[in-house]
Amino acid sequence: MLSSNCTHSFPQRPLLSTSSPRFRVSTFSPKSLPTLSHRIRISEPHHRISTKRWKISCFRNEESSSGASNPESIDDVLHKELENPEIDKPSVEKRNRISRFREAADVVVKVIGKPWTVPWTAETILQVMLLWIVSFWFIGSWMIPFGAYMVGISKESLTFRGQALFSLLTDVTEGLAGILILQRCLSRFRPLPSDWFKFCLKGNWLFDVLLGCLMFPLVNRLSQFNLDLLPVLPSTPLTLSSVEQSILARDPVAMALYALVLVVCAPLWEEIVFRGFLLPSLTKYMPVWCSILMSSIAFALAHFNVQRMLPLIFLGVVMGVIYGRSRNLLPSILLHSLWNGFVFLDLMK
């Protein structure tokens, strides 16, 4: 009877309670022990699962807004997310935009090339460009005229051939000074990477040069458009340059000397400075396309002629793209020479 009463009253009290002395292990019959252990083994995993689910539900509820009054289980939340796919639309659209941007960036990189490895800082870039501008101005405005004055030569009294020779001497001196400045300022960074100041006949760059030549009519149209925007002031006297005067005089020697300056010397020095040094250096601080644009603006400003800003910027962009694709100064120098030759032939008409 005792064991029967105990077995009947057991479910009414807490399982495995140790607070009441009424129940002892010895009071149970052997047949009841397997039943008790079986109940413990069955109920304990269910208790653990429900506790774990409650904890996950609480943590999930803490991450949500504080205004939520009814915490939801993880199963309910997952069920709602599967039923409402619109929740992930903003993230999907964001990923699509990022992927499209990366595809466009890959196309741009394929067209204009990757950034250069630049071992120097902005201080060196500014130093080289300022020294080049100062030397350009000092040699052309002071050193060569003063040297001619010291030997008793006046530029105004020179013949067409003498003026052409004077111009060639000035341009060669300015170009050599620019190369010396580059060599002096970059000497501590040697040896430079292989794609710096590269001159090479090999490569598939001839097609790019031919494509750039097809842009010459557009550059010419931009020149006329620039003149329409910024016409020559009426008070400014219209004077012919020494090149135009020698062409009108039909002096073959003077024309050949001017052609040497325009077609060989000027493209060589300018491409070494603006495409060979400035453009790659700027890729350390900005994208390649922005470096091409900024170096083209500097290239146009260096000519000190606002009536030719737009065509020179566009021409600089074309030559910058060609240089970025080939990593070779020879194609941009060749295209620059062809453009100057095109202008020179246009003046001879």
Question: Each residue of 15-49: pLDDT tens digit?
Answer: 444 444 444 444 444 444 444 444 444 444 444 44
pLDDT at 194: 84
Percent of the chain predicted with pLDDT > 90: 44
233-249 tens-digit pLDDT: 555 555 567 777 777 78
Residue pair 40/15 in contact by the 8 Å Cβ criterion:
yes
CA nearest to 172, candidates 184, 162, 164, 160: 164
Mean pLDDT of 345-349: 82
- Residue 2, classed as helix, strand or coil, is helix
Mean pLDDT is highest, among 1-5, 74-78, 196-200, 246-250, for: 196-200
Are 188 and 119 in contact, with CB atoms under 8 Å apart? no
| DSSP-derived 3-state class of residue 211 | helix
| CA nearest neighbour of 172 among 140, 137, 138, 128 | 140
pLDDT of residue 263: 94
Instruction: Give which of 219, 328, 208, 221 is closest to 276, Cα–Cα.
Output: 328
Write down the mean pLDDT value for the chain. 77
Q: Are 280 and 119 in contact (CB under 8 A)?
A: no
- What pLDDT is stored for residue 46 in this prediction? 46
Instruction: Quote the pLDDT of residue 229.
Output: 82
| CA–CA dist 238, 342 (Å, integer) | 23
Structure tokens at 116: 């250069």
What is the rounded CA–CA span in Å between residue 123 and residue 145?
32
Tokens describing residue 54: 């409650």
- Model confidence at 101, in pLDDT bands (50, 70, 90)? low
Q: Which pLDDT does position 63 carry in this prediction?
A: 43
Alpha-carbon distance of 301 to 318, in angstroms, equals 16
For the chain, what's the residue count?
349
Q: To 10 degrees, what angle do helices 329-347 and 252-260 make?
A: 150
Q: Find the angle CA(205)-CA(206)-CA(212) to the nearest 5 degrees.
A: 95
Q: Which two tokens stand for residue 150?
A: 């010291």
Q: What is the mean pLDDT of residues 261-271?
A: 94
Position 290: which residue type? C
Task: Judge contact between 293 and 324, C-beta under 8 A.
Answer: no
Cβ 329 vs Cβ 199: under 8 Å? yes
Indicate whether 290 pLDDT > 50: yes
